[in-house]
Structure 1
Amino acid sequence: MKSQEIRSTFLSFFEEKKHSILPSAPMVLKDDPTLMFVNSGMAPFKEYFLGHGEPKNTRIADSQKCLRVSGKHNDLEEVGYDTYHHTLFEMLGNWSFGDYFKKEAIAWAWELLTEVYGIDKDILYVTVFEGSDDGDKLSLDTEAYDIWKQYISEDRILKGNKKDNFWEMGEQGPCGPCSEIHVDIRSDEEKAKVSGKDLVNMDHPHVVEIWNLVFMQYNRKANGTLEPLPNKHIDTGMGFERLCMVLQGVQSNYDTDVFTPLIREIETISNKQYGESDKVDIAIRVISDHVRAVAFSIADGQLPSNTGAGYVIRRILRRAIRYGFTFLDKKEAFIYRLVDVLSKRMGTAFPELKAQKQLIENVIKEEEQSFLRTLDQGLVLLNKMVDETKGNVVSGEKAFELYDTYGFPIDLTALILSEKDLKLDEKGFNEELEKQKKRSRAASEMSTDDWTILTEDTEEGFVGYDTLEAQVKITRFRKVSSKKDGDLYQLVFNVTPFYAEGGGQVGDKGYLEDAHGDVIYIIDSKKENNLIIHFVKNLPNHINESFRAVVDAKQRLRTESNHTATHLLHQALREVLGTHVEQKGSAVHSKYLRFDFSHFSKLSVEELRDVENFVNRRIEGKLPLEEKRNVPKEEAMAEGAMSLFGEKYGDTVRTIRFGQSVELCGGTHVSNTSDIWHFKIVSEGAVAAGIRRIEAITNDAVKDFYFENNRAYFEMKDMLNNAKEPVKALHSLQEENSALKKQIEVLLKDKAKNIKAELKNELLDVNGVQFLAKKLDLDAAGLKNLAFELGSQFDNLFLLFATEQNGKALLSCYISKGLVAEKGLNAGQVVRELGKFIQGGGGGQPFFATAGGKHPAGINDALKKAKEYIS
């Protein structure tokens, strides 16, 4: 059975069981601060488990893209070394929200696996929760055990511990016992030697879990205790790739048709054969896995970057690149070429791959080229580190610096050192790595209390499209503590006029006022699992009373102006540049807007002017806001509304129209484009291959911009003696300055020639070396030129020149290449040690290096010390 049929069979089976079949949610999470990525099939439905929302159907099924590379669920370092772990994987799942429970979940799982897919019952094992005698005091899940006895012999029902058979979404929240279904695909000979039941949950590559049935029946409180949930839920997850392995009769996920097309393409590109060696096989598995994770992330709107989720994606891609670099001898970009195969194989089930194919290829190619340059630079630095090493052990601290500062992989460092018969101080490296992790953990350390429920009033949600004020009651609150922000409180209201951060738009600020005149300031508003949360520094004194909630109107208007401008900007870019332009992200603040979009080249001055004029004409046109709420998504799309890849839309949507600009959007906007006042682009540049970024301002920020520029203009004019044509006066000054610089260069060259003649007579013969250490009145370029000119005339020269420029010290060391080879002298090492005298440091090549410092008074000591290197 092919993989596409396996997936469709699963979905059809549960559709017949009256489940709504949903498309995979975007893998990158935007309103859950506890997760960067969807790491299990239930993540997109957390609000339903938490009771913060109601699903339209209590039965749901889907195939969800998941990524496990950070936090509690981190499979990254195992990927490639075994045959059944992945970074990105599909999780086939069916859910019940307060509908069916254990009986149906178990019966349907068994029916699907054994009757529909035809898996032999004799190769299956199941586990149930054995209970725990810790603080939870939970007993054996006899309910699940008794149900399983109807389908499978008791010797195949295994009792599992809390680690394996009690599922929790985190330190707090819904949880419960689970039943795992394991499959034993070993040969009959292997089975005769060891029973499969002894290998369950023992990380055997051919006795693996394929399906987990989670019975959500408890809520974990902040203090660790459990309480029964008001409604019981079912959350199941089956590993699609492992299921394909079983049904296609192979011994590895990588031997299924999910991966074999990618592997064949890697073999063709690299001229290496899968199966020829362990190292090559691991590299090919790593690359075929990682390209899927990176491609899907980019398709869902997450580009590689240096922070947050973007850093995780960059790290995955760089791991793939270095395996190709090291074990497949690929020194040029090639992973981007796999996207075409991936798109053809998975584009039907996941159309975002086809729609974003060109962008994905461009981004991956640029990332590959960039990291390959980093590897080249790292090799130079590593060779330098080797040259400076005394003995056969390379400092772990220096290796960590290479890893942390330059991104050079530590495993590649260790490999290269072993080829040079050197060892890495792994203990020292790990100590530095642990220090960094502790700093990172300390910076992000946070504790969250349970919600204190004040009232069961229905939370009606956001009313801020229509009003900036509302009478509210606090329905729940909790305390959140972190090293970064200290103690804060999170409040939830029955209704709120505060817009919660989302869709690129920042959250509202404002205040709460009670009947006694007491005021509490709201410093931010965010959404978490469908709850609108308001952040305050202190709890109100009269927390159970009614409050007047007031949004900061000035900040809201500035933010609305910028948000509306992003819609007009999007329309302008498509009009000026072409309909290939698509929004790839935005940030809407009260002071500025940022807009990322797909385009292949830098915008010209004329294009920027045309875009700016286009937007301002719509502002001058006083276009009114035309808003529609709760419109069926299909109807909105039929009317030409634009949607964004990576956004999660419901069955009904909100459309925003200004003239011909129509978009699906949940943000807040001005009632008329004239409220924006004016639009001004302040910068345009590249974010990634094929992605450009415009930053712009509107409203009060534009007024401030023109005021500041006007002030600067008159200051400049005053400095130019109120010239009638200041631009012409500046050009005149530039020409004059250029002429003077040329005169200075001629004078400096003459000066250097005179100095050179004098210095020849000052050279000292020390142990057969021509030596000179001297302070000179030249700049850095002058010192270098002088050193190399003298070096061209002497074969055994050791020079140390120093100068003082703008209160700072500079040392330049030149050593003839013959001396470097014969006597083991190294200019880089010399300046690093002498740099301590001037409270600085530096480096360079063995024959020429420089050091800078902030302590010119130490120059004389450095010059005196230099002679010791040859005497």
Structure 2
Amino acid sequence: MTSNEIRKQFLDFFASKGHHIVPSAPIVVKDDPTLMFINSGMAPFKDYFLGNKPAPYKRIADTQKCLRVSGKHNDLEEVGYDTYHHTMFEMLGNWSFGDYFKKDALHWAWELLTEVYKLPKDRLYVSVFGGDPSENLERDMEAFELWKGILGSEERILFGSKKDNFWEMGDTGPCGPCSEIHIDLRSEEEVAKTPGKDLVNNDHPQVVEIWNNVFMEFNRLQDGSLVKLPAQHVDTGMGFERLCMAIEGKQSNYDTSVFQPLIQFISDAADIKYGENEKTDIATRVIADHIRTLSFAIADGQLPSNNKAGYVIRRILRRAVRYAFTFLNFKKPFFYSIVPTLADQMASVFPELKQQQSFVMRVIEEEEIAFLRTLENGLKRLDTLEEKFKQNGNVIDGKTAFELYDTFGFPLDLTALIAREKGLTVDEAGFNVEMEQQKNRSRNASVSEQSDWVIVNDEAETEFIGYDHETTETRMLRYRKVSTKGKTEYHIVLEKTPFYAESGGQVGDTGFLESGLSKVKVIDTRKENDLIIHVTTELPEDVTAPLYLKIDANRRKVIKKNHSATHLLHAALRNHLGEHVHQKGSLVNDKLLRFDFSHFTKVTDEQIHEIERMVNSKIRQNIALDEKRNVPIAEAKQHGAMALFGEKYGEFVRVITFDKEYSVELCGGTHVASTGEIGFFKIVSESSVAAGVRRIEAVTANAAEEFVHNQLAQLEEVKQLLGSPQTLSKTVEKVLEENSALKKQLEQFELKQVTVLKNVLAGEAQNINGINFIARNVELCSADYVKKLAFDLRQTVDNLFLVLAAEIDGKPQLTVMLSDNLVSEKGLNATQIVKELAKEIQGGGGGQPFYATAGGKNAAGLANVPAKAEAFVKGLN
């Protein structure tokens, strides 16, 4: 049975039990501040468990893409070394939202495993929650008795600890006791020696958990306490890769049909045989695992970067590239070439990867090229310092680890990985100190504390009415207090609201909340999962009183123009650049619109002009908005509606059309009634964002007019400065030519000045203790000329000890130059000397033993430098 057949049997089984089969949510999380990536099968359904909104179906089943590399669930370091840990994995799940509970969940689990998949009953063990007196949680005797009835005895039932049998998705949120199912995959001989029951939850590679049935009963609050959820739910998760290992009778997930196509491709490309060498096997497994993570994350909208989720993706990619480079001898980009094999394998269940195959390959290839440029140099740097580390207790110091991060792009875990292979460790504390001192690096901008939700009314959910209304009367459902860097905000959820919550690139609305004489400003509107959160700096005086809401209508009007213009731009880009263009991000506010899209070359000025012309033509046609709500998603796509990769869509969607032959998109944002309202569209910039992704920024309406006016005003100002020439470009070209000629003349003059100064200084050399000492404040216009002067004097004067002080562009600079014999025979070091002299100018510097420079803040201190240098030389023996 293949992995695709195993997955299909799971979904078919639960469909037969009345479950609605839903597609996987994107692996990248957009509306949940507690998560970067989906890390469990239940994460997309969190709001249903919390009661924030009703589930569309009482019973659901799916296979969910998950990623675990940071935070509480961090499997990265085990990946490749053992048989069952992965960064990206599939989680098969069946869900009950206030419907069936423990009895049906456990009976169906046993039925599927033993009667459908035919797994041997005598190799299966189950665990149930053993209680926790510290939280007054009792043993789950209900699950125990159910299993006893299913199994016929209690011989293969274990009571587990809170760590193993009480599932929590994080520090807060839905949680509850769970019952795990484990399988013993060892040989008969090994089973005879040690009972499988003794190895459950003991990290044995062949005695593994394959299914977890979580009984969601509680919500963990900020203070750590547990409260009962409004209803009881079932959340199950079965690791697809481990299930395939068990059904296919393998000893490792990597030996299954899930991974073997990838492993075979890698092995063939590297000209190795998998299974013959431990180091190359580990490298092959790492690469096979990581290509899945990278491909799906990029396809779902997360590009590699130096910040947050993007940095997680980048460091996974670099980890894979480093393994390919070191152990499989891939010195050129290779990782990207595995994508087609994966895309073909997953086409039937995750078609989004096949649809974006070229784009994903291009992004990965460009990242590989960039990293390979620095990887080899970084490894050489480590090799040269290896002996030093071994003399320092086999520890790579924090400063060097940070240098590898800052200069060579090595994430800390990559340095730790290399260290482990060399028998070294890394001073992580020292690294963290260096990181803290690096001001311009990506860091957590603030620390927030938020209270639990205070429930005002709990019998209703939020209704968004902003497509049709700008004001309304409503009431508060809940609120919470959030403190960040000494500033306090309140997050307010209302029964109905015209305020649009930031989503799909469109910023959130602002406006006012009024109650009696109380008027509270709404400074932002955000989405958290499926909650619409109104952000204020204070609460209304009476949170239970009726509220009157009013958005900032003028601001919304401009945002609508920019958003509709984004749709027109998207269509124009596809029309002029090709069907490969897909939206990869956007920002729509009341200042401008920003649109990121897949394209591999710079958009030419001519193409920009044609795109602008097309958009403005559609504006002048005054095309009426055709808005359709609650359209079945299959029907919308059938009619050509553009869906954005990485967005999570429900079964019913909103379709925005401006001319069905031009622009048809799935969109939840606000739009103009007709394109004529946009007025005028102007592109102000085009640039590269990442590999294969370009960015256009544009303005509309009044902002576009103002932009053109300012450009024309600047042009007129330039004309006036040049005497109002009839042909501006020729006049500017002439001015540039004259400027270039003058620069060359000035350069020749400066070079002559350096020659004259060299001869003067050589004649002024003082013999002090057998050293030819020169120290002088000089007037030169650039650091390059100071450097040339120093090297020219070194060629002219023997036994030279030279100090040059200069003020360059208003900043003090020092140069120290020594003859080689002074370095080798007298042990002098220019770097040490310049650092001491730099104290006079409140600065510092460095360089080589024979040549060093320094800069500083206090130009007045330059006057003290010659005398200080002379005193130093006179003090030498």
Paired with 1:181 and 1:841, the residues of 2 have a C-alpha distance of: 64
Structure 2 counterpart of 1:543, which letter?
A: V
Match of 2:615 in 1: 615
- TM-score, scaled relative to structure 1: 0.92
Paired with 2:636 and 2:542, the residues of 1 have a C-alpha distance of: 45
Paired with 1:426 and 1:71, the residues of 2 have a C-alpha distance of: 17
1:677-726 superposed Cα distances (whole Å, 9 cap, x missing partner): 21111111112222111111112322332343344345445544666665
Match of 1:850 in 2: 853
C-alpha contact (below 8 Å) 2:396/2:424 kept by paired residues: no
- TM-fit CA distance, 1:732: 3.9
Structure 2 counterpart of 1:634, which letter?
A: A
Paired with 1:278 and 1:356, the residues of 2 have a C-alpha distance of: 34
- Secondary structure of the equivalent of 2:82? coil
Match of 1:648 in 2: 648
Match of 1:801 in 2: 804
Paired with 2:275 and 2:386, the residues of 1 have a C-alpha distance of: 34
Structure 2 counterpart of 1:178, which letter?
A: C
Match of 2:354 in 1: 354
- TM-fit CA distance, 1:430: 5.7
1:780-820 superposed Cα distances (whole Å, 9 cap, x missing partner): 11122233444556787554433211220223344567877
Of residues 673, 683, 686, the one that matches 1:684 is 686
Match of 2:561 in 1: 561
C-alpha contact (below 8 Å) 1:52/1:529 kept by paired residues: no
Structure 2 counterpart of 1:145, which letter?
A: F
Of residues 697, 700, 722, the one that matches 2:699 is 697
- Secondary structure of the equivalent of 2:149? coil
C-alpha contact (below 8 Å) 1:217/1:229 kept by paired residues: yes
Structure 2 counterpart of 1:780, which letter?
A: A
Identity of aligned residues (%): 56
Match of 1:448 in 2: 450
How do 1:21-36 and structure 2 match up within 5 A? 21-36=21-36
Whether 1:512 aligns to 2:513 is yes
Match of 1:625 in 2: 625
- Secondary structure of the equivalent of 1:611? helix
Match of 2:492 in 1: 491
Whether 1:859 aligns to 2:841 is no
Whether 1:140 aligns to 2:139 is yes
Q: Relative to structure 1, is the Cα distance of residues 155 and 796 closer, same or farther in structure 2, using a 3 angstrom cutoff?
A: farther
Match of 2:735 in 1: 733
- Secondary structure of the equivalent of 1:555? helix
Structure 1 counterpart of 2:53, which letter?
A: G
Greater CA deviation, 794-803 or 218-227?
A: 794-803
- Secondary structure of the equivalent of 1:542? coil
- TM-score, scaled relative to structure 2: 0.92
Paired with 1:169 and 1:411, the residues of 2 have a C-alpha distance of: 24
C-alpha contact (below 8 Å) 1:813/1:827 kept by paired residues: yes
Structure 2: gaps spanning 5 or more residues:
none
How do 1:381-396 and structure 2 match up within 5 A? 396=397
Greater CA deviation, 201-210 or 274-283?
A: 274-283
Match of 1:784 in 2: 787
1:636-691 superposed Cα distances (whole Å, 9 cap, x missing partner): 22222111111111121111111221111110011121211211111111122221
How do 1:360-379 and structure 2 match up within 5 A? 360-376=360-376, 378=378
Paired with 1:409 and 1:663, the residues of 2 have a C-alpha distance of: 39
1:99-157 superposed Cα distances (whole Å, 9 cap, x missing partner): 111111101111111121111112111110111111x3111111100000022331211
Paired with 1:706 and 1:326, the residues of 2 have a C-alpha distance of: 54
- TM-fit CA distance, 1:635: 2.0
C-alpha contact (below 8 Å) 2:462/2:531 kept by paired residues: no
C-alpha contact (below 8 Å) 2:315/2:411 kept by paired residues: no
1:154-184 superposed Cα distances (whole Å, 9 cap, x missing partner): 1211111111111123333322110011112
C-alpha contact (below 8 Å) 1:461/1:532 kept by paired residues: no
- Secondary structure of the equivalent of 1:503? coil
1:355-413 superposed Cα distances (whole Å, 9 cap, x missing partner): 11111111111111112223355467768989999985788342243144233345666
Q: Relative to structure 1, is the Cα distance of residues 79 and 797 closer, same or farther in structure 2, using a 3 angstrom cutoff?
A: farther
How do 1:595-614 and structure 2 match up within 5 A? 595-614=595-614
Whether 1:253 aligns to 2:257 is no
- TM-fit CA distance, 1:768: 7.4
C-alpha contact (below 8 Å) 1:174/1:218 kept by paired residues: yes
Paired with 1:168 and 1:813, the residues of 2 have a C-alpha distance of: 63
Q: Relative to structure 1, is the Cα distance of residues 493 and 378 closer, same or farther in structure 2, using a 3 angstrom cutoff?
A: same
Match of 2:53 in 1: 53
1:287-315 superposed Cα distances (whole Å, 9 cap, x missing partner): 22111111100011111112121111112
Q: Relative to structure 1, is the Cα distance of residues 523 and 781 closer, same or farther in structure 2, using a 3 angstrom cutoff?
A: same
Greater CA deviation, 6-15 or 221-230?
A: 221-230
C-alpha contact (below 8 Å) 2:94/2:237 kept by paired residues: yes
C-alpha contact (below 8 Å) 2:399/2:430 kept by paired residues: no
- TM-fit CA distance, 1:744: 0.4
Paired with 1:823 and 1:332, the residues of 2 have a C-alpha distance of: 47
Structure 1 counterpart of 2:474, which letter?
A: V
Paired with 1:261 and 1:488, the residues of 2 have a C-alpha distance of: 52
Paired with 2:169 and 2:578, the residues of 1 have a C-alpha distance of: 45
Greater CA deviation, 466-475 or 192-201?
A: 192-201
C-alpha contact (below 8 Å) 1:685/1:692 kept by paired residues: yes
C-alpha contact (below 8 Å) 1:583/1:596 kept by paired residues: yes
Greater CA deviation, 163-172 or 81-90?
A: 163-172
Match of 1:712 in 2: 714
Paired with 2:617 and 2:519, the residues of 1 have a C-alpha distance of: 42
Match of 2:11 in 1: 11
The size of the alignment, in residue pairs, is: 867
Greater CA deviation, 374-383 or 671-680?
A: 374-383
How do 1:392-407 and structure 2 match up within 5 A? 396-406=397-407, 407=409
1:418-441 superposed Cα distances (whole Å, 9 cap, x missing partner): 99999965663465568999x999
Structure 1 counterpart of 2:786, which letter?
A: L
- Secondary structure of the equivalent of 1:850? strand
Paired with 1:800 and 1:691, the residues of 2 have a C-alpha distance of: 50
Q: Relative to structure 1, is the Cα distance of residues 250 and 766 closer, same or farther in structure 2, using a 3 angstrom cutoff?
A: farther
Greater CA deviation, 297-306 or 449-458?
A: 449-458
Paired with 2:229 and 2:425, the residues of 1 have a C-alpha distance of: 56
Q: Relative to structure 1, is the Cα distance of residues 342 and 672 closer, same or farther in structure 2, using a 3 angstrom cutoff?
A: same
Structure 1: gaps spanning 5 or more residues:
none
Whether 1:840 aligns to 2:861 is no
C-alpha contact (below 8 Å) 1:627/1:656 kept by paired residues: yes
1:188-226 superposed Cα distances (whole Å, 9 cap, x missing partner): 333333332222212221221111000112233344333
Match of 1:775 in 2: 777
Match of 1:151 in 2: 150
How do 1:270-309 and structure 2 match up within 5 A? 270-309=270-309
- Secondary structure of the equivalent of 1:125? strand
C-alpha contact (below 8 Å) 1:301/1:584 kept by paired residues: yes
C-alpha contact (below 8 Å) 1:388/1:829 kept by paired residues: no
Structure 1 counterpart of 2:743, which letter?
A: K
Structure 2 counterpart of 1:359, which letter?
A: F
- TM-fit CA distance, 1:860: 5.1
- TM-fit CA distance, 1:322: 2.4
Match of 1:541 in 2: 541
